Amino acid sequence: MTQSRKILVWAMLAALAALVAYFGFRGYVSADMLFNIGNSFYC
Amino acid sequence: MDKPDWRTPGVVLACGSIILMLSLGIRQSFGLFLQPMSGELGWGRETFAFALALQNLVWGVAQPFAGMIADKFGAARVIVSAGVLYMLGLALMAYSETGLAFDISAGILVGLGLSGSAFGVVMGVVGRAFPSEKRSMALGAVGAGGSFGQFIMLPYGQLLISQFGWLNALLVLAASSFLIVPLASALVGRNAAAASSSQSMSEALREAAAHRGFWYLTASFLVCGFQTLFIMVHLPAYLTDKGMTPLEGMTALALIGLFNIVGSYLCGVLGGYLSKKYLLSWIYAIRGVAILAFVTLPLTPWSTWIFAAVIGFTWLGTVPLTNGLVAQIFGVRYLSTLFSIVFLGHQIGSFLGGWYGGYMFDLTGSYLTVWMVAVGLSVLAAVLCLPIDERELSTLPVRRPAV
């Protein structure tokens, strides 16, 4: 694999990781999650 | 001419990471089912909590046996059996209408599934696939896979519950867990270390039992289990009690998950260059300082998030270092067995952390005592790691009990 291709692969992986982290984080603070977690203390 | 083996170390690492991601991640989402299942089936919170506590115990007790079978007959067989048990457990969870049925499915079957598809067995294969100079990095990478699963499966589980209801969500998770079975084919292979060592399993166990460092590692790992499960189970309740909103609490949990991925990998990488016992000691010391600062300084969203980031960074960083230290001292032939015994200490700590947190809260109306116990245990674990003799036993001139 050439150097430029390696950089491209790593850049794509980094972008993918950032996307997953962003959507994962949004999932944690979604309305459904907060509602479920809030309710779990009262059941 | 023989075809080159497709099970290269990279493939073993990738498939091992995905297996850990699935097994640890799916389990992480179980707490989300508490409210909808308990509400619909008319269970109290303790019915659900007991099954999950049982799961932790079954996982811990069965893990050494899973490790022994993996070292003797091959890890892939154990992982395939575990994948099937995990899937069955999840599917039966969906149809459990009584507490007993839930104990059997979520507690026993999933616990057995975890024992064969989580750290001990998978890390044993990954540890053997890499030479000693790259082993710590590889263990860190596979640990980061597990951490990634823990981070991502919680919102994934919630998405499934919101879209399809809790019963169908469990069936989708069961189907997801079945992916463990085909992935195990990458972990088929002979234990190459067996060819170069004539040591029997009972000799290896006796050797480890006579090494004080083995017990220090087990004790420090017990502390790790105590702290992580206490924080995982009781932190949201603690924050809510202190007047923080669910949004702030969930942001803290997300930060723990996110920093856990980075911490697991970096701890593994650092373990390849620096002394693992000193790194472990630092991790426990940092945790102690972070907990002490968190409970004594004024509680704000930012103090909580900084605490979550620090704790997350050290969350599973102990796993590649502890596993790497076992491999470094005792060799890799019986790595799954020996690490699984150390891991039993972790699971006992997990059980104690979850239970003692609730018990002390009911008794005193506060978590302060448990936080202080967690700080004291941090100091103890940090000190216990220091005298461990990190030298490889086979290179020592005379095999003798070492500190």
Give A14 to chain B, closest Cα distance, Å. 13
Q: pLDDT: is B282 or B199 the higher one?
A: B282
Chain A interface mutation, best of B21, B41, B151, highest count of A Cβ atoms under 10 Å? B151
Q: What whole-number distance in Å separates Cα of residue B177 and Cα of residue B22? A: 6
Q: pLDDT: is B6 or B209 the higher one?
A: B209
Q: What is the mean pLDDT of residues B280-306?
A: 94
Residue B82 banded pLDDT, cuts 50, 70, 90: very high
Q: What whole-number distance in Å separates Cα of residue B147 and Cα of residue B119? A: 11
A42 pLDDT exceeds 60? no
Determine whether the interchain pair A32/B161 forms a contact, defined as Cβ–Cβ distance below 8 Å.
Answer: yes
How does pLDDT run across B341-395, given as a tens digit for each residue?
998 899 889 888 877 887 888 888 888 999 999 999 999 999 999 999 888 876 5
Contacts of A16 (CB under 8 A, 6+ apart): none
What pLDDT sits at residue B178? 93
Q: What is the mean pLDDT of residues B13-41?
A: 88
Q: Is A29 on the interface with B (CB under 8 A)?
A: yes
Determine whether the interchain pair A33/B39 forms a contact, defined as Cβ–Cβ distance below 8 Å.
Answer: no
B338 pLDDT exceeds 60? yes
ipTM of the complex: 0.81
Tokens read off for B347 = 């699971």
pLDDT over 90 percentage in chain B: 42
Give A13 to chain B, closest Cα distance, Å. 14
Q: Compute CA B17 distance to the chain's CA centroid, rounded to the nearest angstrom.
A: 13
Tokens read off for B336 = 């799954």
B398 pLDDT exceeds 70? no
Residues in chain A closer than 8 A to B246 (CB atoms): 34, 37-38
Give B197 to chain A, closest Cα distance, Å. 38
Determine whether the interchain pair B45/A43 forms a contact, defined as Cβ–Cβ distance below 8 Å.
Answer: yes
Residues in chain B closer than 8 A to A24 (CB atoms): 151-152, 155, 254, 257-258
| Helix H or strand E segment including B144 | helix B132-177
* Among chain A residues, CA nearest to B152: A24
Q: What whole-number distance in Å separates Cα of residue A5 and Cα of residue A11? A: 10
Q: Which fold has domain B12-192+201-391?
A: Growth Hormone; Chain: A; (1.20.1250)
Q: Say which of A30, A37, A43 has its CB closest to residue B236.
A: A37
How does DSSP classify residue B31? G
Lookup result for tokens 């942001």: B251
Chain A, chain B: beta-carbon pairs less than 8 Å apart: 65
Residues B206 and B334 sit within 8 Å (Cβ to Cβ): no
* Among chain A residues, CA nearest to B248: A29
Domain boundary assignment for chain B: 12-192+201-391
Q: Is A31 on the interface with B (CB under 8 A)?
A: no
Strand segments (E) across B309-360: none
Residues B238 and B294 sit within 8 Å (Cβ to Cβ): no
